[in-house]
Amino acid sequence: MPTKTDSNNFFLPVCIGYQKKKIQAFPPYSVYKGFTTIYLMEKVILVGVHLKNQLPESTSLPELERLAHTAGAETAATYLVRVEAYNPATLIGSGKLQEIAQDCTEEQADAVIFDEEITPAQQKNLEDRLPAKVLDRTRLILDIFAQRARTQEGKLQVELAQLNYLLPRLSGKGAAMMQQKGGIGMRGPGERKLEYDRRRLRARIARLEKEIEQVKRERALRRERRSAVPLPQIALIGYTNAGKSTLLNALTGQHAVYADDKLFATLDPTTRRVPMHGGGQMLFTDTVGFIQKLPHSLVSAFRATLEETKFADVLLHIHDAASPQREKQSSTVRQILSDLKSTRRPVIDVMNKTDLLSAEGLRALHAQYPQAIFISAQRKKGLSALLKQVEKALLCKWKRRRLKLPPQQAGLLGKIYEQCLVLDCKATPEGLLRLTVMATDGNWRELTQKITSFPLQKAPH
């Protein structure tokens, strides 16, 4: 987001971000009537809550701070609150709540963000007692997704998740703004404004679900078209900001997708062709990054996108080798893959950002992950070894095979190119066509049946 722009280009996030304020301007600024418009990052207070009989998660609160920064906020203060039990009314005790309220006033905080998911009743009570808007981790992630969505598909998925989150939290003006119908026996209090808003939201959710079902069907058709082209499919998966988009750009040698050192820099899946060492090409797909405590509404809304992992031949699990929370992040990715039932695919562990490690740290990581591939996507190091490992993993499904065709069966070449990945095609001194191909067992059986049943034509004189 820009730090300074004109009002026509200003984008107001759903929850937090940059605020437009008018301040007195001093030279050398060029101003209109002594005022200029600038954009200031919102100040937020972060609150982590954990039970006293449990160890606090050391990674969750720093990650929440990064999420807030990604959304366009500046952290004014951070609280880690220990409680005997979660307060059903306000999540935390009244004493700590009063302390946070005082801090909001002193720091002029715009929002208080809780690391735990809060119920609609808790949010209402907290807003009554805090002089700032109240958000939780789920709402913050939804806000980031709303900022990052670029394609129509992504915008539909984010809007559905937002409305599902908003529906139970909707509040109205009670008996005010009632609607009535005329006629005998039809008079009465009518429909409350709150009920009307909820009905409209449910109708919009129903329409969005139908549109997303259409998106799923279109995505399935695109997958079928990709399957018709005999190219192996590889999905890049991993924790957000692990370097998946940077790796795809490095493999393709072009700016195939936006990449930045931010959480959820890209949302929409992008597929590009990457050449193989032995000839031919592979399809690499960059997917949305994972994060711990990923909202269930987002997993449900983005299921059409995440299901790309279920149809890939090989999964590349990209790890941030330089992250101190590497193990926790890897566990989160594996859990989400298990929820999506995508664990039966071959998985290659790829340790990225090795250029940020010391020599001693790199040796320790090699010892801990002896089967992993170590790369630096930013510096384009280790990519050759990675592609070789991918091709080796593909041999489990895409097996390398050889066949010879007499000139009378040259008409089968079109079928071979349709069903196989042709790596090499040469003519022998005897006049035969010698081909080296990669094909799945199913494609190979179908092809050999066509070869045996293909009528031999007489060679022209």
**pLDDT score recorded for residue 265:** 66
**pLDDT score recorded for residue 179:** 46
DSSP states of 138-156 as a string?
A: HHHHHHHHHHH--SHHHHH
Residues 150-167, mean pLDDT to the nearest whole number: 84
For residue 318, name the pLDDT band (cuts at 50, 70, 90). very high
Is residue 434 scored above 50 in pLDDT?
Answer: yes
Beta strands in 151-244 (DSSP E): 233-238
Is residue 229 scored above 70 in pLDDT?
Answer: no
- DSSP label at residue 439: E
Tell me the C-alpha distance between 277 and 287, whole Å.
24
Is residue 7 scored above 60 in pLDDT?
Answer: no
**pLDDT score recorded for residue 40:** 60
Residues 166-181, mean pLDDT to the nearest whole number: 60
Residues 407-431, mean pLDDT to the nearest whole number: 81
Q: At what angle do helices 152-166 and 137-148 cross, to 10 degrees?
A: 160
Mean confidence (pLDDT) of the chain? 79
Residues 219-230, mean pLDDT to the nearest whole number: 71
**pLDDT score recorded for residue 336:** 82
For the ranges 106-115, 204-213, 286-295, which has the lowest average pLDDT?
A: 286-295
Q: Provide the CB-side half-sphere exposure for 251 (13 A, CA).
A: 30
Q: How many CB atoms lie within 10 A of CB 169?
A: 13
For the ranges 125-129, 228-232, 312-316, 358-362, which has the lowest average pLDDT?
A: 228-232
- 398-413 burial string, b = 16+ CB within 10 Å, else e? beebebebeeebeebe
**pLDDT score recorded for residue 315:** 92
Task: Note whether 144 and 138 are within 8 A (CB).
Answer: no
Task: Give the model confidence (pLDDT) of 75-117 as tens digits.
Answer: 999 999 999 999 999 999 999 999 999 999 999 999 999 998 8
**pLDDT score recorded for residue 454:** 61
For residue 61, name the pLDDT band (cuts at 50, 70, 90). confident
Is residue 186 scored above 50 in pLDDT?
Answer: no
Output the pTM of the full model: 0.73
For residue 419, name the pLDDT band (cuts at 50, 70, 90). confident
**pLDDT score recorded for residue 191:** 55
Residues 392-410, mean pLDDT to the nearest whole number: 83
7-144 folds as: Rossmann fold (3.40.50)
| CATH classification for the domain delimited by 230-394, as one of 1.20.1630.10, 3.30.465.10, 3.40.50.300, 3.30.2130.10 | 3.40.50.300
**pLDDT score recorded for residue 216:** 78
The closest of 172, 225, 162 to 195, measured between CA atoms, is 172
Q: How many CB atoms lie within 10 A of CB 391?
A: 19
The closest of 148, 140, 89, 141 to 111, measured between CA atoms, is 140
**pLDDT score recorded for residue 228:** 63
Question: Which has more pLDDT, 299 or 404?
Answer: 404
Compute CA distances 391 → 246, 394, 413, 438, whole Å: 21, 5, 24, 10
Question: Which has more pLDDT, 400 or 20?
Answer: 400
For the ranges 36-40, 119-123, 346-350, 357-361, which has the lowest average pLDDT?
A: 36-40
